[in-house]
Amino acid sequence: MVWCTLFTTFLCTLLLPLLLFLVAVKLWEMYIITGRDHSCKSPLPPGTMGLPFLGETLHMVLQRRKFLQKKREKYGYIYKTHLFGSPTVRVMGAENVRQILLAEHRLVTVKWPVSVRTILGSDTLSNVHGTQHRNKRKTIMKAFSHEALEQYIPVVQDEVRRAIERWLLGGSCVLVYLETKRLMFRIAMRVLLGFEAEQISRDEHELVEAFEEMIKNLFSLPIDVPFSGLYRGLRARNFIHAKIEENIKTKLQHADDDDRNPKDALQLLIDSSRRNEERFTMQELKESATELLFGGHETTASTATSLVMFLALHLDALRNVREELREKQLLGTRSEDKPLTMRILEQLKYSGCVIKETLRMNSPVPGGFRVALKTFELNGYQIPKGWNVIYSICDTHDVADVFPDKEEFLPERFMARAAEESLRFNYIPFGGGPRRCVGKEFAKVLLKIFLVELTTKCNWTLLNGPPIMKTGPTVYPVDNLPTKFSSYFDNEPIHT
């Protein structure tokens, strides 16, 4: 009798939960199989869908790049998974990505995870479609015209110089990633949102903390309960929105006597709203401003940090940058206060190649999200209607055959103009198609100014050597890249 009781207890405590789990897994597999479109003869891509209901989201969030590399090695350039509550196909390789990017509004359309749409807003440029997307993009593009970029240069140069002065006075250790985020945040607030320097200084600490909290929880499980990632992200976003709303109200009060030309991106959105019959609501303006702040600060901070890292590790490239700057009379005793212009920046070809190579090896954004509007075939596999599609930027760069010696930092590979056509869709740090990054030219100008000021004013050494890089949501060094900076003199050798 005792043995019978023990056996029953064993069944209830161990075998029954195991049996229920196996049943749940089987039902999960059946659910995934039924997701296949049987009118299409092509099979689903290879891959696994992870745990019931949770899918592989937790694995991806915790392991990030390691998770993606394992998947690519096992399943190839197209594979299925289950992320952020939806069955998903991940795509890489120039030809596969080309078909996705050029199929916008025909086979696929943009669809970011629920947490991203909830925090950033559903009416932002990255989430709207059709005519609304085209009109909003056209308006924002005015803020990144050649004329507008020319007007931004003095503000950017001033902020970069002030930051580098702090780094040189920072003593034995500067955490570069944290400092570049602070720098790029200030630049984005001034140039894109039109905040005055005094406004930023007053609220900078709180704003940066709130923005960090929002970004940290941007890709989270879509569960809005106290202390969840989404809950914390929304609280941080609401604080940012409150500060932006104050700025918008100030702009609206002075709209008639504000004749700046060109204007910041947020002011252009406000002006466009006032001219159109269908005006933007205050919420739409706040969401658009927050999106601009994310796009104009987080990604450039990631790339600026990678620039510091790669040039510290590849002194031949640093010497070449300085030689180019010396030829353009930007490096030397008489160049200290020489203002930069668009014409001068466009002449810095090798410096531009250094930025391109940095973006190839450490693209700040790992990929983009789409959803299948209808079932279609891609390289022999079916992509069912309603499934999410992620095109991978970092994986596409990694597998591109047009880049010999992929693991080497070789800016010279971008010097040949003949290579431009072969790079199409093999090199996509700014995405592609009708949703190509609207701030691409602004980012290039900002990064060139950063590179010029950094290399003409500083020598530096990485205190921990090459860092481990992670993604969340942009690429960053886990140790924040502790670095020692010292002043650079024209005749002084490069310190290593």
Q: How far apart are the C-alpha atoms of 281 and 272, rounded to whole Å?
A: 12
Q: What share of the chain is helix, strand, coil (3-state, %, to 5)?
A: 55, 10, 35
What are the residues facing 486 on neighbouring strands?
459
The C-alpha atoms of residue 458 and residue 318 are separated, in whole angstroms, by 11
Residue 203 has phi, psi (to 5 degrees) of -115, 10
What's the CA gap between 216 and 161, in Å, rounded?
28
Identify whether the C-beta of residue 185 lies closer than 8 Å to the C-beta of residue 209.
Answer: no
Q: Which residue type does 405 have? A: D
Facing residues of 377 across strands? 382
| 12 labeled binding residue | no
- Between CA 455 and CA 459 the distance in angstroms is 7
With 0-12 CB in 10 A as exposed, 13-18 as middle and 19+ as buried, what is 167? Answer: buried
Contact 147, 454 (CB under 8 A): no
CA 231/CA 119 separation, integer angstroms: 9
Nearest to 238 by CA among 294, 290, 297, 182: 290
**Distance between CA atoms of residues 393 and 383, nearest Å:** 19
Q: What is the dihedral of CA 171, 165, 355, 326, to 10 degrees?
A: -110
User: 21 and 51 in contact (C-beta within 8 Å)?
Assistant: no
What's the first-to-final CA gap in the chain, in angstroms? 78
Nearest to 306 by CA among 184, 171, 436: 184
**Bond before 43 cis per omega within 30 degrees:** no
Task: Please state the residue numbers annotated as binding site.
Answer: 437
Task: Please state the residue numbers annotated as binding site for heme.
Answer: 437
